[in-house]
Structure 1
Amino acid sequence: MANLIINGGRKLHGTLRTNSAKNSAVAILCATAMIKGKTTLSEVPRIEEVNRIIEILVSLGLKIRWSAKHKLEIINNGHLLPQKINRESFLQTRSALLLMAALSASFKKFSLPKSGGCKLGKRTVSPYILALNYLGIKVKQSLNTYTISYEKKRGVEFTMYEQSDTGTENTIMAAVLTPGKTIMHLASTNYMVQDLIVFLQRAGAKIKMDDGTIIINGVKKLQAVKDYPIMPDPIESMAFISLAVTTKSHLKITRCPIDFLRLELEKLKVMGQKFNISHLHISQNKHFKLVDIEIFPSQLRALDDKLHPQTYPGLNIDNLPLFVPILTQAKGATLVHDWIYENRAIYYTELSHLGADIMLHDAHRVTVTGPTKLKPNNMICPPALRPSINILIAMLAASGKSILKNSYAIDRGYENLAARLNKVGAHIEVQES
Structure 2
Amino acid sequence: MSNFIINGGKKLTGSIRTNSAKNSAVAILCSLPMIKGRTVLDDVPVIEEVKRIIEILISLGLKINWLSKHRLEIINVGKINLATIDKQAYQKTRVTVLFIGSLVKRFKNFILPKTSGCKLGKRTVNPHIIGLKHFGITVKKLNNKYSIASQRIKGADFTMYESGDTATENIILAATLAQGKSKINLASPNYMVQDLCHFLNQAGAKIKGIGTTKLEIHGVKKLKPVKNYCLIPDPIESMAFISLAIATESKLKIIGCPIEFLSLELEKLRLMGQKMNISRLYKSSSGYFDLVDITIIPSKLTALPDKIYGRPFPGLNIDNLPLFVPILTKARGQTLVHDWVYENRAIYYTELNKLGAKIMLLDPHRVTVTGPTKFKPVATECPPALRPAINLFIAMIAAKGKSILKNCYSIDRGYEDLCQRLNKIGADIKRVD
Tell me, in whole angstroms, the C-alpha distance in 1 between the residues paired with 2:165 and 2:82. Answer: 24
Query: Normalised by the size of structure 2, how large is the TM-score?
Result: 0.99
1:244 alignment partner AA: A
Deviations 1:267-288 (A, max 9, x none): 0000000001100000111100
Q: Which residue of 1 aligns with 2:92?
A: 92
Q: Which residue of 2 aligns with 1:298?
A: 299
Tell me, in whole angstroms, the C-alpha distance in 1 between the residues paired with 2:55 and 2:352. Answer: 34
SS at match of 1:24: helix
Q: Is the 8 A contact 1:307 1:336 kept in 2?
A: yes
Q: Which residue of 2 aligns with 1:149?
A: 149
Q: Is 1:425 aligned to residue 387 of structure 2?
A: no
Q: Which residue of 2 aligns with 1:22?
A: 22
Tell me, in whole angstroms, the C-alpha distance in 1 between the residues paired with 2:111 and 2:339. Answer: 33
2:367 alignment partner AA: V
SS at match of 1:279: coil
SS at match of 1:75: strand
Q: Is 1:12 aligned to residue 31 of structure 2?
A: no
Q: Which residue of 1 aligns with 2:63?
A: 63
SS at match of 2:148: strand
SS at match of 1:130: helix
Q: Which residue of 2 aligns with 1:32?
A: 32
Tell me, in whole angstroms, the C-alpha distance in 2 between the residues paired with 1:350 and 1:209. Answer: 41
Q: Which residue of 2 aligns with 1:254?
A: 255
Deviations 1:34-80 (A, max 9, x none): 00000000100000000000001110111101011101100111110
Q: Is the 8 A contact 1:83 1:111 kept in 2?
A: no
SS at match of 1:127: helix
Tell me, in whole angstroms, the C-alpha distance in 1 between the residues paired with 2:391 and 2:235. Answer: 16
Tell me, in whole angstroms, the C-alpha distance in 2 between the residues paired with 1:90 and 1:306. Answer: 37
Q: Which residue of 2 aligns with 1:110?
A: 110
Percent pairwise identity: 63
SS at match of 1:412: helix
CA apart distance, 1:373: 1.1
CA apart distance, 1:141: 0.7
Q: Which residue of 2 aligns with 1:215?
A: 216
Report how many residues are paired.
432
Q: Which moved more, 1:285-294 or 1:201-210?
A: 201-210
Q: Which residue of 1 aligns with 2:282?
A: 281
What stretches of structure 2 of length at least 5 have no aligned partner?
A: none
Q: Which residue of 2 aligns with 1:408?
A: 409
Q: Which residue of 2 aligns with 1:342?
A: 343
Q: Is the 8 A contact 1:249 1:297 kept in 2?
A: yes
Tell me, in whole angstroms, the C-alpha distance in 2 between the residues paired with 1:313 and 1:402. Answer: 37
SS at match of 1:242: helix
Q: Which residue of 1 aligns with 2:328?
A: 327
Tell me, in whole angstroms, the C-alpha distance in 2 between the residues paired with 1:107 and 1:276. Answer: 52
CA apart distance, 1:105: 2.3
1:131 alignment partner AA: G
2:124 alignment partner AA: T
Deviations 1:239-265 (A, max 9, x none): 000000111100000000000000000
1:81 alignment partner AA: N
Q: Is 1:318 aligned to residue 308 of structure 2?
A: no
Q: Which residue of 2 aligns with 1:184?
A: 184
Q: Which residue of 2 aligns with 1:358?
A: 359
1:300 alignment partner AA: L
Q: Is the 8 A contact 2:33 2:102 kept in 1?
A: yes
Q: Which residue of 2 aligns with 1:160?
A: 160
CA apart distance, 1:143: 1.1
Q: Which residue of 1 aligns with 2:124?
A: 124
Q: Is the 8 A contact 1:177 1:220 kept in 2?
A: yes
Tell me, in whole angstroms, the C-alpha distance in 2 between the residues paired with 1:246 and 1:271. Answer: 14
Deviations 1:151-194 (A, max 9, x none): 11111100000000000000000100001100000000100000
Q: Is the 8 A contact 2:105 2:153 kept in 1?
A: no
Q: Is the 8 A contact 1:378 1:403 kept in 2?
A: yes
Query: Normalised by the size of structure 1, how large is the TM-score?
Result: 0.99
RMSD across aligned positions (CA): 0.6
SS at match of 2:46: coil
2:97 alignment partner AA: L
Tell me, in whole angstroms, the C-alpha distance in 1 between the residues paired with 2:324 and 2:198. Answer: 30
Deviations 1:279-307 (A, max 9, x none): 00001111000000000000000001000
Q: Which moved more, 1:102-111 or 1:226-235?
A: 102-111
Q: Is the 8 A contact 2:319 2:387 kept in 1?
A: yes
Q: Is 1:3 aligned to residue 3 of structure 2?
A: yes
CA apart distance, 1:234: 0.2
Q: Is 1:53 aligned to residue 61 of structure 2?
A: no
Q: Which residue of 2 aligns with 1:238?
A: 239
Alignment of 1:197-216 (within 5 A): 197-209=197-209, 211-216=212-217
Tell me, in whole angstroms, the C-alpha distance in 2 between the residues paired with 1:148 and 1:117. Answer: 21
Tell me, in whole angstroms, the C-alpha distance in 2 between the residues paired with 1:190 and 1:155. Answer: 23
